[in-house]
Amino acid sequence: MTVTTGNPPGDFVQVGATRDGLDPYLDCARRRGMRAVLVETPAFLRWRRLLGRREFDVELAVARPQDPDAVRAALTAAGVTPGLVLTGFERYVYAGFALAEALRVAPWPGAGVDFRPLDKREQREALLRGAPQVAQPRFLPLDLGDQGAADGLGFPQVIKPADGGGGLGVLLVDGAAQRRRALDRIRELTNYGGGAFSGIVAEEFVKGPELSLQGVAQQGSAVLLSVCEKLTCLEEVPGEPGLSGFREVGHVARPGTDAPPELHALAQACLDAVGYRAGPFHLDVLQGPTGPVFVEMGFRLSGGGLVALVEKATGADWAERAFASHLGDAAPVRPPSPVTGTGGIAGQISAVSEDELAAAEALQEPGITIEVQRATPPPDRSALPADDLPALASDLARHTGSAGRVVVSGGPADRVPALLHSLVAHRLRG
Protein backbone atom coordinates (compact mmCIF):
# COMPACT_ATOMS: atom_id res chain seq x y z
CA MET A 1 0.00 0.00 0.00
CA THR A 2 1.32 3.45 -0.91
CA VAL A 3 0.16 6.55 0.93
CA THR A 4 0.74 9.92 -0.71
CA THR A 5 0.79 12.88 1.65
CA GLY A 6 2.31 16.30 1.89
CA ASN A 7 5.03 17.06 4.40
CA PRO A 8 4.88 14.65 7.36
CA PRO A 9 3.22 16.35 10.35
CA GLY A 10 6.10 15.42 12.67
CA ASP A 11 7.39 12.26 14.29
CA PHE A 12 5.19 9.31 15.07
CA VAL A 13 5.50 8.30 18.73
CA GLN A 14 4.27 4.91 19.89
CA VAL A 15 4.03 4.50 23.65
CA GLY A 16 4.43 0.80 24.41
CA ALA A 17 5.41 -1.99 22.05
CA THR A 18 2.88 -4.44 20.68
CA ARG A 19 3.32 -7.78 22.44
CA ASP A 20 2.44 -9.81 19.34
CA GLY A 21 5.31 -8.28 17.36
CA LEU A 22 3.19 -7.11 14.43
CA ASP A 23 3.87 -3.38 14.95
CA PRO A 24 1.42 -2.29 12.23
CA TYR A 25 1.75 1.40 13.14
CA LEU A 26 5.42 1.20 12.20
CA ASP A 27 4.37 0.37 8.64
CA CYS A 28 1.84 3.23 8.65
CA ALA A 29 4.51 5.73 9.68
CA ARG A 30 7.05 4.54 7.14
CA ARG A 31 4.54 4.75 4.30
CA ARG A 32 4.27 8.45 5.13
CA GLY A 33 7.97 9.13 5.61
CA MET A 34 7.45 9.82 9.32
CA ARG A 35 10.23 9.05 11.77
CA ALA A 36 8.94 6.29 14.06
CA VAL A 37 9.75 6.52 17.77
CA LEU A 38 9.09 3.72 20.27
CA VAL A 39 8.92 4.44 24.00
CA GLU A 40 9.30 1.47 26.33
CA THR A 41 10.91 0.37 29.57
CA PRO A 42 14.63 -0.41 29.40
CA ALA A 43 13.91 -4.04 30.34
CA PHE A 44 11.30 -4.56 27.63
CA LEU A 45 13.46 -2.93 24.97
CA ARG A 46 16.23 -5.42 25.81
CA TRP A 47 13.75 -8.31 25.73
CA ARG A 48 12.29 -7.09 22.44
CA ARG A 49 15.74 -7.07 20.83
CA LEU A 50 16.36 -10.64 22.00
CA LEU A 51 13.05 -11.57 20.34
CA GLY A 52 14.35 -10.16 17.05
CA ARG A 53 11.53 -7.64 16.64
CA ARG A 54 11.74 -4.91 14.00
CA GLU A 55 13.52 -1.74 15.07
CA PHE A 56 11.93 1.70 15.17
CA ASP A 57 13.96 4.68 13.94
CA VAL A 58 14.36 5.83 17.54
CA GLU A 59 13.86 3.64 20.62
CA LEU A 60 13.68 5.53 23.90
CA ALA A 61 14.11 3.76 27.23
CA VAL A 62 11.85 5.33 29.87
CA ALA A 63 11.63 3.72 33.31
CA ARG A 64 7.92 4.58 33.66
CA PRO A 65 6.19 4.91 30.27
CA GLN A 66 2.91 5.13 32.20
CA ASP A 67 4.04 8.61 33.34
CA PRO A 68 3.30 11.12 30.54
CA ASP A 69 5.62 13.72 32.07
CA ALA A 70 8.52 11.27 32.05
CA VAL A 71 7.80 10.37 28.43
CA ARG A 72 7.57 14.02 27.42
CA ALA A 73 10.92 14.80 29.08
CA ALA A 74 12.57 11.87 27.25
CA LEU A 75 11.16 12.98 23.89
CA THR A 76 12.42 16.54 24.44
CA ALA A 77 15.88 15.32 25.43
CA ALA A 78 16.04 13.14 22.30
CA GLY A 79 14.98 15.97 19.98
CA VAL A 80 11.74 14.27 18.98
CA THR A 81 8.96 16.48 17.57
CA PRO A 82 5.73 14.48 17.90
CA GLY A 83 3.03 14.85 15.29
CA LEU A 84 1.01 11.80 16.33
CA VAL A 85 1.04 9.78 19.58
CA LEU A 86 -0.57 6.34 19.72
CA THR A 87 -0.23 3.39 22.06
CA GLY A 88 0.74 -0.16 21.24
CA PHE A 89 -0.12 -1.75 24.56
CA GLU A 90 -3.00 -1.45 27.02
CA ARG A 91 -0.91 -0.47 30.03
CA TYR A 92 0.20 2.79 28.42
CA VAL A 93 -3.02 3.95 26.80
CA TYR A 94 -3.69 6.37 29.65
CA ALA A 95 -0.29 8.02 29.28
CA GLY A 96 -0.55 8.11 25.49
CA PHE A 97 -3.73 10.17 25.43
CA ALA A 98 -2.52 12.45 28.23
CA LEU A 99 0.73 13.06 26.36
CA ALA A 100 -1.07 13.89 23.12
CA GLU A 101 -3.26 16.42 24.92
CA ALA A 102 -0.28 18.00 26.67
CA LEU A 103 1.59 18.31 23.37
CA ARG A 104 -1.54 19.40 21.46
CA VAL A 105 -1.04 16.74 18.78
CA ALA A 106 -3.24 13.96 17.37
CA PRO A 107 -5.24 12.11 18.48
CA TRP A 108 -6.11 15.23 20.51
CA PRO A 109 -8.56 16.90 20.03
CA GLY A 110 -10.15 14.61 17.41
CA ALA A 111 -10.66 11.76 19.86
CA GLY A 112 -12.60 14.20 22.04
CA VAL A 113 -11.50 17.50 23.55
CA ASP A 114 -12.13 16.21 27.07
CA PHE A 115 -11.72 12.50 26.38
CA ARG A 116 -9.50 10.38 28.56
CA PRO A 117 -9.41 6.57 28.46
CA LEU A 118 -11.28 4.98 31.34
CA ASP A 119 -10.21 1.90 33.25
CA LYS A 120 -12.53 -1.08 33.62
CA ARG A 121 -14.30 0.24 36.70
CA GLU A 122 -14.72 3.72 35.22
CA GLN A 123 -16.13 2.27 32.00
CA ARG A 124 -18.85 0.46 33.91
CA GLU A 125 -19.72 3.61 35.84
CA ALA A 126 -19.82 5.67 32.64
CA LEU A 127 -22.28 3.20 31.08
CA LEU A 128 -24.51 3.31 34.15
CA ARG A 129 -24.66 7.09 33.80
CA GLY A 130 -24.73 7.56 30.04
CA ALA A 131 -26.04 4.30 28.54
CA PRO A 132 -28.09 2.46 31.16
CA GLN A 133 -29.73 0.44 28.38
CA VAL A 134 -26.45 -1.46 27.86
CA ALA A 135 -26.49 -4.69 29.85
CA GLN A 136 -23.42 -5.37 31.97
CA PRO A 137 -22.55 -7.62 34.91
CA ARG A 138 -23.24 -6.31 38.37
CA PHE A 139 -19.94 -5.13 39.82
CA LEU A 140 -18.34 -3.62 42.88
CA PRO A 141 -14.99 -1.90 43.39
CA LEU A 142 -13.20 -3.87 46.11
CA ASP A 143 -11.80 -2.28 49.23
CA LEU A 144 -9.02 -4.68 50.16
CA GLY A 145 -9.94 -4.28 53.81
CA ASP A 146 -13.58 -5.35 53.49
CA GLN A 147 -14.92 -7.57 50.73
CA GLY A 148 -18.13 -8.67 52.44
CA ALA A 149 -20.34 -6.38 50.33
CA ALA A 150 -19.23 -8.25 47.21
CA ASP A 151 -21.02 -11.39 48.46
CA GLY A 152 -24.22 -9.77 47.21
CA LEU A 153 -23.03 -10.32 43.63
CA GLY A 154 -23.43 -14.06 44.13
CA PHE A 155 -20.98 -16.70 42.99
CA PRO A 156 -19.08 -17.46 40.85
CA GLN A 157 -17.43 -14.06 40.51
CA VAL A 158 -14.66 -12.62 38.38
CA ILE A 159 -11.99 -10.65 40.23
CA LYS A 160 -9.81 -8.39 38.07
CA PRO A 161 -7.45 -5.42 38.25
CA ALA A 162 -9.11 -2.25 36.98
CA ASP A 163 -6.21 -1.37 34.67
CA GLY A 164 -4.57 -4.66 33.79
CA GLY A 165 -4.32 -6.12 30.31
CA GLY A 166 -3.83 -9.41 28.53
CA GLY A 167 -5.76 -11.29 31.22
CA LEU A 168 -3.26 -10.34 33.93
CA GLY A 169 -4.77 -11.05 37.34
CA VAL A 170 -8.24 -11.94 36.02
CA LEU A 171 -9.45 -14.80 38.23
CA LEU A 172 -12.64 -16.85 38.64
CA VAL A 173 -13.70 -17.51 42.24
CA ASP A 174 -16.49 -19.63 43.70
CA GLY A 175 -16.74 -18.35 47.24
CA ALA A 176 -15.45 -15.80 49.73
CA ALA A 177 -12.44 -17.96 50.66
CA GLN A 178 -11.36 -18.22 47.04
CA ARG A 179 -11.88 -14.48 46.62
CA ARG A 180 -9.49 -13.81 49.50
CA ARG A 181 -6.92 -16.07 47.83
CA ALA A 182 -7.46 -14.24 44.53
CA LEU A 183 -6.91 -10.88 46.18
CA ASP A 184 -3.74 -12.15 47.84
CA ARG A 185 -2.56 -13.33 44.44
CA ILE A 186 -3.27 -9.95 42.80
CA ARG A 187 -1.41 -8.19 45.63
CA GLU A 188 1.66 -10.22 44.67
CA LEU A 189 1.50 -9.04 41.05
CA THR A 190 2.84 -5.85 39.57
CA ASN A 191 1.32 -4.21 36.54
CA TYR A 192 3.23 -4.19 33.27
CA GLY A 193 6.14 -1.81 33.46
CA GLY A 194 6.00 -1.86 37.26
CA GLY A 195 3.72 -0.18 39.73
CA ALA A 196 0.46 -1.03 41.45
CA PHE A 197 -2.95 -1.51 39.86
CA SER A 198 -5.35 1.43 40.02
CA GLY A 199 -7.91 -0.74 41.80
CA ILE A 200 -9.64 -4.13 41.81
CA VAL A 201 -13.16 -4.96 40.67
CA ALA A 202 -15.45 -7.87 41.55
CA GLU A 203 -18.21 -8.68 39.09
CA GLU A 204 -20.77 -11.39 38.64
CA PHE A 205 -19.80 -14.15 36.24
CA VAL A 206 -21.99 -14.19 33.13
CA LYS A 207 -21.83 -17.43 31.20
CA GLY A 208 -22.18 -17.34 27.43
CA PRO A 209 -20.29 -17.17 24.13
CA GLU A 210 -17.63 -14.47 24.10
CA LEU A 211 -17.24 -11.95 21.29
CA SER A 212 -14.85 -9.13 20.54
CA LEU A 213 -15.65 -6.21 18.22
CA GLN A 214 -12.95 -4.34 16.29
CA GLY A 215 -13.74 -0.89 14.98
CA VAL A 216 -12.85 2.70 14.28
CA ALA A 217 -14.63 5.74 15.66
CA GLN A 218 -15.16 8.39 12.99
CA GLN A 219 -16.53 11.74 14.17
CA GLY A 220 -18.27 9.91 16.98
CA SER A 221 -19.77 7.16 14.81
CA ALA A 222 -18.85 3.54 15.45
CA VAL A 223 -17.73 1.64 12.33
CA LEU A 224 -17.39 -2.08 13.02
CA LEU A 225 -14.73 -3.69 10.87
CA SER A 226 -15.09 -7.18 12.30
CA VAL A 227 -16.70 -9.31 14.97
CA CYS A 228 -14.75 -12.20 16.46
CA GLU A 229 -15.92 -15.27 18.28
CA LYS A 230 -13.43 -15.77 21.09
CA LEU A 231 -12.11 -19.17 22.12
CA THR A 232 -11.06 -19.10 25.76
CA CYS A 233 -10.12 -21.62 28.41
CA LEU A 234 -9.67 -21.76 32.14
CA GLU A 235 -6.20 -22.54 33.41
CA GLU A 236 -5.12 -23.21 36.96
CA VAL A 237 -2.98 -20.55 38.57
CA PRO A 238 0.49 -21.99 39.27
CA GLY A 239 0.90 -22.74 42.95
CA GLU A 240 -2.77 -22.05 43.67
CA PRO A 241 -4.75 -25.32 43.39
CA GLY A 242 -8.40 -24.71 42.62
CA LEU A 243 -7.87 -21.08 41.59
CA SER A 244 -8.27 -20.45 37.86
CA GLY A 245 -7.63 -17.64 35.43
CA PHE A 246 -8.63 -17.10 31.82
CA ARG A 247 -6.54 -17.54 28.67
CA GLU A 248 -7.50 -16.52 25.13
CA VAL A 249 -6.91 -19.47 22.82
CA GLY A 250 -8.11 -18.06 19.50
CA HIS A 251 -10.56 -15.98 17.47
CA VAL A 252 -12.86 -16.46 14.51
CA ALA A 253 -13.38 -13.20 12.59
CA ARG A 254 -16.28 -12.16 10.37
CA PRO A 255 -16.95 -8.78 8.70
CA GLY A 256 -18.64 -6.20 10.89
CA THR A 257 -21.33 -5.80 8.26
CA ASP A 258 -22.57 -9.26 9.32
CA ALA A 259 -23.02 -8.19 12.94
CA PRO A 260 -26.60 -8.05 14.25
CA PRO A 261 -28.07 -4.58 14.90
CA GLU A 262 -27.79 -4.97 18.67
CA LEU A 263 -23.98 -5.17 18.45
CA HIS A 264 -23.80 -2.03 16.32
CA ALA A 265 -26.08 -0.28 18.82
CA LEU A 266 -23.97 -1.45 21.76
CA ALA A 267 -20.76 -0.16 20.16
CA GLN A 268 -22.32 3.22 19.45
CA ALA A 269 -23.74 3.51 22.96
CA CYS A 270 -20.32 2.78 24.45
CA LEU A 271 -18.62 5.44 22.32
CA ASP A 272 -21.27 7.97 23.29
CA ALA A 273 -21.04 7.14 27.00
CA VAL A 274 -17.26 7.59 27.21
CA GLY A 275 -17.03 10.49 24.72
CA TYR A 276 -14.65 8.78 22.29
CA ARG A 277 -14.99 10.36 18.85
CA ALA A 278 -12.06 9.21 16.69
CA GLY A 279 -9.64 6.33 16.60
CA PRO A 280 -9.45 2.57 16.98
CA PHE A 281 -11.44 0.69 19.61
CA HIS A 282 -12.24 -2.85 20.58
CA LEU A 283 -15.06 -4.17 22.73
CA ASP A 284 -15.41 -7.46 24.60
CA VAL A 285 -18.96 -8.74 24.85
CA LEU A 286 -20.72 -11.81 26.24
CA GLN A 287 -23.81 -13.21 24.57
CA GLY A 288 -26.12 -13.49 27.55
CA PRO A 289 -29.53 -15.16 27.59
CA THR A 290 -31.31 -11.91 26.66
CA GLY A 291 -28.69 -10.29 24.42
CA PRO A 292 -25.17 -8.88 24.43
CA VAL A 293 -23.54 -8.01 27.75
CA PHE A 294 -20.73 -5.44 27.91
CA VAL A 295 -17.45 -6.64 29.43
CA GLU A 296 -14.84 -3.97 28.68
CA MET A 297 -13.58 -1.56 26.04
CA GLY A 298 -10.10 -0.69 24.75
CA PHE A 299 -9.09 2.52 23.00
CA ARG A 300 -6.41 1.02 20.76
CA LEU A 301 -5.80 -1.80 18.29
CA SER A 302 -6.13 -5.31 19.71
CA GLY A 303 -3.05 -7.45 20.15
CA GLY A 304 -2.78 -11.21 19.79
CA GLY A 305 -2.41 -11.08 16.01
CA LEU A 306 -5.90 -9.64 15.51
CA VAL A 307 -4.82 -6.83 13.19
CA ALA A 308 -3.64 -9.45 10.69
CA LEU A 309 -6.72 -11.62 11.25
CA VAL A 310 -9.11 -8.72 10.64
CA GLU A 311 -7.37 -8.06 7.33
CA LYS A 312 -7.49 -11.75 6.41
CA ALA A 313 -11.27 -11.87 6.90
CA THR A 314 -12.28 -8.44 5.65
CA GLY A 315 -9.44 -6.90 3.65
CA ALA A 316 -9.44 -3.94 6.09
CA ASP A 317 -6.08 -2.69 7.31
CA TRP A 318 -7.28 -1.72 10.79
CA ALA A 319 -4.06 0.09 11.69
CA GLU A 320 -4.01 2.10 8.47
CA ARG A 321 -7.62 3.16 8.87
CA ALA A 322 -6.98 4.25 12.45
CA PHE A 323 -3.75 6.06 11.57
CA ALA A 324 -5.34 7.84 8.63
CA SER A 325 -8.36 8.87 10.68
CA HIS A 326 -6.08 10.88 12.97
CA LEU A 327 -4.02 12.47 10.21
CA GLY A 328 -6.96 13.21 7.92
CA ASP A 329 -5.20 11.81 4.85
CA ALA A 330 -7.78 9.23 3.77
CA ALA A 331 -11.41 8.87 2.79
CA PRO A 332 -13.94 8.28 5.59
CA VAL A 333 -13.78 4.82 7.12
CA ARG A 334 -16.42 2.47 5.79
CA PRO A 335 -17.32 -1.07 6.75
CA PRO A 336 -15.26 -3.52 4.66
CA SER A 337 -16.48 -6.25 2.38
CA PRO A 338 -15.52 -9.91 2.78
CA VAL A 339 -12.28 -10.92 1.09
CA THR A 340 -12.74 -13.08 -2.00
CA GLY A 341 -11.54 -16.58 -1.26
CA THR A 342 -11.98 -16.43 2.51
CA GLY A 343 -15.74 -16.80 2.55
CA GLY A 344 -15.75 -13.69 4.73
CA ILE A 345 -14.43 -15.68 7.67
CA ALA A 346 -10.97 -16.38 9.04
CA GLY A 347 -9.82 -17.76 12.34
CA GLN A 348 -6.69 -18.42 14.32
CA ILE A 349 -5.51 -20.23 17.41
CA SER A 350 -2.36 -19.73 19.43
CA ALA A 351 -0.73 -23.16 19.62
CA VAL A 352 1.05 -24.17 22.81
CA SER A 353 2.75 -27.34 21.57
CA GLU A 354 4.36 -28.94 18.56
CA ASP A 355 1.55 -31.53 18.65
CA GLU A 356 -1.05 -28.82 17.96
CA LEU A 357 1.01 -27.43 15.08
CA ALA A 358 1.51 -30.92 13.62
CA ALA A 359 -2.21 -31.62 13.88
CA ALA A 360 -2.90 -28.40 11.96
CA GLU A 361 -0.44 -29.37 9.22
CA ALA A 362 -2.27 -32.69 8.85
CA LEU A 363 -5.62 -31.00 8.24
CA GLN A 364 -6.68 -30.99 4.60
CA GLU A 365 -10.05 -29.98 3.20
CA PRO A 366 -11.01 -28.73 -0.25
CA GLY A 367 -11.33 -24.96 -0.36
CA ILE A 368 -9.77 -24.49 3.08
CA THR A 369 -6.47 -22.64 3.52
CA ILE A 370 -4.45 -23.56 6.59
CA GLU A 371 -1.35 -21.56 7.51
CA VAL A 372 0.99 -22.78 10.23
CA GLN A 373 3.21 -20.01 11.57
CA ARG A 374 5.87 -21.37 13.90
CA ALA A 375 7.12 -19.01 16.58
CA THR A 376 10.82 -18.29 16.89
CA PRO A 377 12.22 -20.27 19.84
CA PRO A 378 12.22 -18.02 22.91
CA PRO A 379 15.54 -16.39 23.75
CA ASP A 380 17.57 -17.47 26.76
CA ARG A 381 16.48 -15.29 29.65
CA SER A 382 19.98 -15.55 31.09
CA ALA A 383 21.00 -13.02 28.42
CA LEU A 384 19.04 -10.40 30.36
CA PRO A 385 20.36 -8.56 33.42
CA ALA A 386 18.98 -10.14 36.59
CA ASP A 387 17.24 -6.86 37.45
CA ASP A 388 15.15 -7.13 34.26
CA LEU A 389 13.33 -10.31 35.30
CA PRO A 390 11.13 -8.76 38.02
CA ALA A 391 10.28 -5.87 35.66
CA LEU A 392 9.29 -8.37 32.95
CA ALA A 393 7.46 -10.81 35.23
CA SER A 394 3.96 -9.94 34.01
CA ASP A 395 5.03 -10.02 30.36
CA LEU A 396 6.76 -13.36 30.76
CA ALA A 397 3.67 -14.79 32.45
CA ARG A 398 1.10 -13.55 29.93
CA HIS A 399 2.91 -13.10 26.61
CA THR A 400 5.20 -16.11 26.26
CA GLY A 401 4.64 -19.82 25.79
CA SER A 402 3.20 -19.86 22.28
CA ALA A 403 4.63 -22.45 19.89
CA GLY A 404 3.09 -20.63 16.95
CA ARG A 405 -0.15 -19.61 15.32
CA VAL A 406 -2.56 -21.50 13.07
CA VAL A 407 -4.69 -19.42 10.67
CA VAL A 408 -7.61 -21.01 8.85
CA SER A 409 -9.74 -19.40 6.11
CA GLY A 410 -12.00 -20.30 3.20
CA GLY A 411 -14.70 -22.91 2.72
CA PRO A 412 -18.17 -23.02 4.28
CA ALA A 413 -18.65 -20.62 7.18
CA ASP A 414 -19.08 -23.39 9.74
CA ARG A 415 -15.84 -25.20 8.85
CA VAL A 416 -13.35 -22.59 10.08
CA PRO A 417 -14.55 -22.65 13.71
CA ALA A 418 -15.02 -26.42 13.57
CA LEU A 419 -11.44 -27.02 12.45
CA LEU A 420 -10.01 -24.63 15.02
CA HIS A 421 -12.07 -26.23 17.79
CA SER A 422 -10.76 -29.65 16.77
CA LEU A 423 -7.19 -28.48 17.35
CA VAL A 424 -7.75 -27.08 20.84
CA ALA A 425 -10.72 -29.06 22.17
CA HIS A 426 -8.55 -30.62 24.87
CA ARG A 427 -7.81 -27.13 26.23
CA LEU A 428 -11.32 -25.69 25.84
CA ARG A 429 -12.71 -28.44 28.05
CA GLY A 430 -10.90 -26.73 30.93
pLDDT band with cut points at 50, 70 and 90 for residue 7: low
| Rounded average pLDDT over 73-100 | 97
Q: Is the pLDDT reported for residue 290 higher than 80?
A: yes
Q: What's at 200, amino acid-wise?
A: I
Give the per-residue pLDDT at 6.
55
Residues in CB range of 76: below 8 A, 6 or more apart? none
Q: Is the pLDDT reported for residue 38 higher than 90?
A: yes
CA distances from 184 to 169, 171, 200, 395 (A): 11, 11, 12, 20
Q: Is the pLDDT reported for residue 429 higher than 60?
A: no
pLDDT digits (tens, 9 = 90+) for 231-258: 999 999 988 888 999 999 999 999 999 9
Are 295 and 237 spatial neighbours (Cβ–Cβ below 8 Å)?
no
pLDDT band with cut points at 50, 70 and 90 for residue 101: very high
Q: Is the pLDDT reported for residue 334 higher than 70?
A: no
| Rounded average pLDDT over 112-119 | 96
Q: Is the pLDDT reported for residue 204 higher than 60?
A: yes
Give the per-residue pLDDT at 372.
97
Give the per-residue pLDDT at 413.
86
> Taking the mean position of all CA atoms in its chain, how far away is CA 1?
25
pLDDT > 90: percent of the chain: 82
Question: What letters, b where the CB count within 10 A reaches 16 and e where it falls short, cover 6-38?
Answer: eeebbbbbbbbbbbbbbbbbbbbbeebebbbbb
Q: Is the pLDDT reported for residue 70 higher than 70?
A: yes
State the DSSP string of 291-319: EEEEEEEESS---TTHHHHHHHHH---HH
Q: Is the pLDDT reported for residue 336 higher than 70?
A: no
Give the per-residue pLDDT at 1.
63
Best-predicted range by mean pLDDT (66-75, 164-173, 372-381): 66-75
Q: Is the pLDDT reported for residue 65 higher than 90?
A: yes
Residue-range domains of the chain with CATH: 11-103 (3.40.50.20), 138-205 (3.30.1490.20), 206-428 (3.30.470.20)
Mean pLDDT across the chain, nearest whole number? 92
Give the per-residue pLDDT at 4.
53
Q: Is the pLDDT reported for residue 343 higher than 70?
A: no
pLDDT digits (tens, 9 = 90+) for 173-190: 999 999 999 999 998 898
Are 300 and 93 spatial neighbours (Cβ–Cβ below 8 Å)?
yes
| Rounded average pLDDT over 212-222 | 96
- pTM, two decimals, is 0.93
